[in-house]
Amino acid sequence: MIASFNELLAAGEGRDLAQVLLDADAEESGFTQQQILDALAKRREVMWECVRRGKLNAGLSMGKLVGGEALTMAAAFDAGKTFLDPLTVKTMIYSLAVMDENSRMGVIVAAPTAGAGGVVPGMLLALEEERNVAPEKTIRGLVVAGGVGSLVSLKANISGAAGGCQNEVGVATAMGAAAIAYMKGGTTRECVQAGALALKNVLGLVCDPVGGLVEVPCVKRNSFYAVHGLTAAQLALAGVQSIIPMDEIIDAMVRIGRALPRGLKETAEGGLAMTPTGCAIAERIKGEANDRRQAAADERERVAAERKAERGEGKD
Amino acid sequence: MGPVMVGPSSSHTAGTARLGRVAHEILGEDPVMLRFFLHPPLERTFRGHGSDFALVGGALGLDVHDHRIPEAIRIAEQLGVDVDFAEEDLGDVHPNTVRIVAKGAAREVEIVGSSIGGAAIEVFSINGFSARYKGDSPTLLLFYRDRIGMIHQVAEAIAREGINIASLSCSRKERGKDAFMQVDVDSPLSSQGLAKILALDEMDDARYLDRIP
């Protein structure tokens, strides 16, 4: 079993990174390599379906705070009104599309979580489309992304509640960066460097969702960190190196997560959630939830009364 | 990579749905009553993230990617399942921890578990016994009376099925009284194999959980 990035570097020296991870995963899990690849092929399909649905849908989220971000960006792109290069713009659109779908309770792939689930598909699918990457290569990219996420999760809980957004979107951007480096022909060392550069530069990011919903700032944040991951992959492929090794960055992330105050770890009791606007939104959402509960309780009572009346009539 | 799931949160929706599903699998029948006791931090955020219907959906036996998950509370109402939520301080545990009590016609099950992120779960109490279930391997949960040789008998029965034991742990409430054994195995156990274990002397109940896909 490979238990650290240091071990991965040793095992993957001069070898195809996805193959190294597949070998290790097949041995550990008891699944065949083909079963693992099939499962990831399915996830790639779900990701594409999610992107296609998401960029055409402006339906509002459960908390009504987000919903049409992908559509807005896609419209600007289609009208020739974006100034960044198409790969970057599509990365943003696709990551937003997944998150919009997620906020509408659509079917998505947790990568590694739902709240950070736009980053990896945004990056990988945009690259696949813009650079004509074979789907099989994208699937192997998902092997790399998953492998990076699994190795991080051996040391860190992957949730905002455990250590803030660095543990979610930070891990996602590291997974995506390593996968992109792999899909662009990077060596094992370059892929791990890409992950390290991405993760190192997200450390300290807090989780302070408005109203406790996976909406603000989560949806737009995914597009930022998808592009951040591209930056990391580009730096690594050019030969730029992280001075701090990946394993030590993860240790630092865990320590920072512990040091973060509770209010900034998914409790909606700090940061953006406690701004005047954030508090007003939370109040509205709470009120609406109470109204819904009341309506449901009234309905139950009405149905119960009706049934009782029916039974009463039956006796007569 | 994480699972295919219904949004919006892998901790609050997928992880909680899996915890509900574990209760359902141990129960092994349709529930008639479900009680969810939420650790305070989870209680504060669970409705916004859809944990309420995810827990119920899982406990009804739905998968994390089932599109009926958002409708789970209504489905439970239609089935006449008695559902309730309450806050309960579960001690020094992960913020997203819940105690689930599920009652069916024949069994009653209580689990305490945490949704630790990325849809991963850890169940650390089953019917009051300490456990360590993460769903990462096929697992046997055995409830029996504490007698000499039980581990030997169980290990032998599993070996006869041609199955390797990855880990095994026991706990009991009192010497000679109710005891619990969790056996993680490397390959799936057939229903006939399970029946043989259930037929052992002093075995009160035997439940088999497949690896969570």
pTM of the full structure: 0.88
The DSSP bridge pattern shows strands B82-87 and B33-38 to be parallel
pLDDT at position A62 is 86
B49 with B9: CB under 8 angstroms?
yes
pLDDT at position A312 is 74
Q: How far apart are CA A24 and CA A143, in angstroms?
A: 11
Q: Which two tokens stand for residue A315?
A: 């006796």
Those residues whose C-beta lies under 8 Å from the C-beta of residue B72, and which sit 6 or more positions away, are B53, B54, B56, B57, B60, B62
Q: Which two tokens stand for residue B117?
A: 């992120």
**3-state SS assignment for residue A176:** helix
- Whether the CB of A240 is below 8 Å from some CB of chain B: the reply is no
pLDDT at position B49 is 76
For the cut 60, the answer to whether the pLDDT of residue A170 exceeds it is yes
Q: Which two tokens stand for residue A285?
A: 């959402």
**3-state SS assignment for residue B189:** coil
Chain-chain contact of B67 with A107 (C-beta, under 8 angstroms): yes
- Whether the CB of A53 is below 8 Å from some CB of chain B: the reply is no
Chain-chain contact of B8 with A157 (C-beta, under 8 angstroms): no
Compute φ and ψ for A232, nearest 5 degrees.
-60, -45
Task: Enumerate the β-bridge partners of residue B34.
Answer: B83, B102
Write the pLDDT tens digit of every residue in B41-64: 888 777 777 889 999 999 999 999
Chain-chain contact of B11 with A160 (C-beta, under 8 angstroms): yes
Q: How far apart are CA A20 and CA A28, in angstroms?
A: 12
For the cut 90, the answer to whether the pLDDT of residue A28 exceeds it is no
Task: Enumerate the β-bridge partners of residue A108.
Answer: B5
Phi-psi category of residue A105: left, alpha or beta, with phi > 0 → left and psi -120 to 50 → alpha: left
For the cut 60, the answer to whether the pLDDT of residue A314 exceeds it is no
For the cut 70, the answer to whether the pLDDT of residue A272 exceeds it is yes
Write the pLDDT tens digit of every residue in A107-152: 999 999 999 999 999 999 999 999 999 999 999 999 999 999 999 9
Distance from CA of A80 to the nearest CA of B (A): 32
Q: How far apart are CA B36 and CA B23, in angstroms?
A: 11
Determine what percent of chain A is predicted with pLDDT higher than 70.
Answer: 99
For the cut 60, the answer to whether the pLDDT of residue A26 exceeds it is yes
Burial A37-62 (b: 16+ CB within 10 A, else e): bebbeebbebbbebbebbbebeeebb
- By Cβ distance, the residue of A211, A214, A289 closest to B9 is A214
Averaged pLDDT for residues A149-178: 96
Mutation for testing the A interface, residue in B1, B68, B71, B96 having most A CBs under 10 Å:
B1
A18 with A140: CB under 8 angstroms?
yes
pLDDT at position B98 is 97
Write the pLDDT tens digit of every residue in A59-85: 999 889 999 999 999 999 999 999 999
The maximal CA–CA distance of chain A, rounded, in angstroms, is 88
Instruction: List the 30-89 stretch of B: residues with Cβ below 8 A of A.
Output: 41, 44-45, 47-50, 65, 67, 69-70, 73, 77
- By Cβ distance, the residue of B65, B96, B117 closest to A113 is B117
Chain-chain contact of B7 with A30 (C-beta, under 8 angstroms): no
Residue labelled with tokens 């040793």: A10
For the cut 70, the answer to whether the pLDDT of residue A218 exceeds it is yes
Determine what percent of chain A is predicted with pLDDT higher than 90.
Answer: 86
pLDDT at position A313 is 60
pLDDT at position B213 is 76
Q: How far apart are CA B65 and CA B175, in angstroms?
A: 43
Q: Point out the residues of chain B with pLDDT beneath 70.
A: none
Residues of A within 8 A of B163 (CB-CB) are none
- Whether the CB of A285 is below 8 Å from some CB of chain B: the reply is yes
For the cut 60, the answer to whether the pLDDT of residue A315 exceeds it is no
For the cut 80, the answer to whether the pLDDT of residue A288 exceeds it is yes
A57 with A183: CB under 8 angstroms?
no
Position with higher pLDDT, A212 vs A238: A238
Q: Which amino acid is at A40?
A: L
